[in-house]
């Protein structure tokens, strides 16, 4: 079975540019999560969706970050404008249902470098 698919795997861009990260959750999963991992802060939850609806976006750093889930099989995380401090590995995860004990399954991440 295909796992969580993220694209691109690597992104290098200059500060001020718009960055769009993409995620395809596991088919049938109805919860989707965006995490960010840095050396300083470890793994942090940015936002999660349940049935395509954003439930908790308290981890989104600031207004430059936005996330959408237009349908059950696709989500985007957008940074506009990007800054060097946004450099990190961004992970997407999905699970069968939020509010249950079902585990989250992670993609291999997007390694983002903002110059």
Partner 1 sequence: DAKTTQPTSMDCAEGRAANLPCNHSTISGNEYVYWYRQIHSQGPQYIIHGLKNNETNEMASLIITEDRKSSTLILPHATLRDTAVYYCIVRVAETSGSRLTFGEGTQLTVNP
Q: Which residues bind to partner 1, rule: CB under 8 A?
A: 4, 31, 33, 42-43, 45, 48, 55-56, 59, 91, 93, 95, 98-101, 103-109
Nearest-approach distance from CB 89 to partner 1, in angstroms: 9
How far apart are CB 92 and partner 1 at their closest, in Å? 8
Q: Which residue lies nearer to partner 1 by CB, 8 or 81?
A: 8
Residue carrying the six token digits 């395809």: 24
- Quote the least distance from Cβ 29 to partner 1, whole Å: 12
Question: Closest CB to partner 1 among 12 and 15?
Answer: 12
The count of residues in the chain is: 115
* Cβ closest to partner 1, residue 31 vs residue 82: 31
Name the residue nearer to partner 1 (CB basis): 74 or 106. 106
Q: How far is the CB of 113 from partner 1 (least distance, A)?
A: 14
Going through the chain in order, the beta strands assigned E by DSSP cover 5-7, 10-13, 19-24, 31-38, 42-50, 53-56, 65-71, 74-79, 88-95, 105-106, 110-114
Q: For Cα atoms 92, 96, 97, give the angle at the middle one, nearest 5 degrees.
A: 100
């Amino acid at each position: 079975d295909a796992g969580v698919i993220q694209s691109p795997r690597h992104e290098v861009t200059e500060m001020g540019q718009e960055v769009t990260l993409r995620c395809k959750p596991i088919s049938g999963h109805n919860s989707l999560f965006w995490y960010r991992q840095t050396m300083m802060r470890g793994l942090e939850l940015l936002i999660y969706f349940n049935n395509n609806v954003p439930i908790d976006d308290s981890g989104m750093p600031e207004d430059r970050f936005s996330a959408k889930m237009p349908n059950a099989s696709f989500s985007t995380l957008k940074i506009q404008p990007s800054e060097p401090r946004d450099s990190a590995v961004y992970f997407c995860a999905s699970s069968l249902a939020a509010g249950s004990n079902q585990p989250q399954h992670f993609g291999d991440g997007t390694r983002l470098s903002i110059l």
